[in-house]
Amino acid sequence: MSNALADPLTIADKSFTSRLLIGSGTYPNQQAMLDAIRESGAQIVTVAIRRISLDGGGETVLDALGGDYTILPNTAGCYTAKDAVLTAQLGREALETNWVKLEVIGDRETLYPDTEHLLTAAEELVRDGFTVLPYSTDDPIVCRKLEDVGCAAVMPLGSPIGSGMGLLNPYNLEIIRAQTALPVVVDAGIGTASDVVLAMELGCDAVMAASAVGRARDPVIMARAIRHALEAGRLAYRGGRIPKKRHGEASSPGRGVIGT
């Protein structure tokens, strides 16, 4: 990213030149995952924490990824604060990181976060020394409460997980951006590059993408598109868009036109 070094993403005590958090699931195969993640330029990769098979076989996703990424364990699949806290603690032990992407899901159909459990888990994990990145609704009040309990970022959804519907309420995201000092990471709902550009133009600091890349027709090409979208959108935000007006305003001088 041009100017990237001068414009890093900082979450807690870490800085990144890429503004993308990328998932490690949903790809057609493992090699496609490795290629797409590399192409995306992402430095933060999320993984789930799951029971091992007691019958052996297989390598972990981390053996495949190698040591080049900041691995962010998530609590995906947890429906209660209790399970999410234990999963975060297991992730910390397994991966030797105190970072966690906190997800507490409310129901299977919408995959919307359970805000009550999310706040409880966030508070407990912060007390336990975690750097908490909570996946939440795009509700400014919820985001403020998450900030109040000591989270390291807020991660409001654009639309439901895996829906690809983009940013359904950009106005809320703008409000969240304006009110918080924390990094704002748009999580969930990204469908294609323009959604990423919009998130960046709104001033959000980063984007989390999983299905948008892994389920694309060509995940590697889409990974590159997302990388460029982050750069374009971030630069557009910093460059500053012009005001929208109802009438035209010529961009060439009005005087000296021939034939007048």
Q: Work out which of 121, 216, 223, 230 binds other proteins, going by CB under 8 A.
A: 216
Cα separation of 189 and 155, whole Å?
12
Three-state secondary structure readout of 65-108: HCCCCEEEEECCCCCCHHHHHHHHHHHHHHHCCCEEEECCECCC
Q: Work out which of 12, 25, 203, 228 binds other proteins, going by CB under 8 A.
A: 25
User: What are the backbone dihedrals phi and psi of residue 193, each rounded to the nearest 5 degrees, phi first?
Assistant: -60, -40
Does 168 interact with other proteins (rule: CB under 8 A)? no
Does 61 interact with other proteins (rule: CB under 8 A)? yes
- Check if the beta carbon of residue 173 is closer than 8 Å to that of residue 199: yes
Choose one: 5-13, 27-35, 176-184, 249-257; the region binding other proteins (CB under 8 A): 27-35
Query: 86 vs 48, 90, 100, CA distance in Å?
Result: 13, 6, 11
**Quick check: is 82 catalytic?**
no
- Check if the beta carbon of residue 41 is closer than 8 Å to that of residue 67: no
Q: Work out which of 2, 53, 252, 260 binds other proteins, going by CB under 8 A.
A: 53
Does 92 interact with other proteins (rule: CB under 8 A)? yes
Q: Work out which of 23, 140, 189, 233 binds other proteins, going by CB under 8 A.
A: 23
Cα separation of 20 and 43, whole Å?
7
Q: Which is nearer to other proteins, 140 or 189 (CB)?
A: 189
Tokens of 243: 């005001």
Site for other proteins (CB under 8 A): how many residues?
61
- Check if the beta carbon of residue 126 is closer than 8 Å to that of residue 150: yes
Does 46 interact with other proteins (rule: CB under 8 A)? yes
Binding site for other proteins (CB under 8 A): 23-35, 38, 46-68, 71, 73-74, 76, 82, 86-87, 89-95, 161-162, 208, 210-211, 216-220
Please identify every residue annotated as catalytic: 101
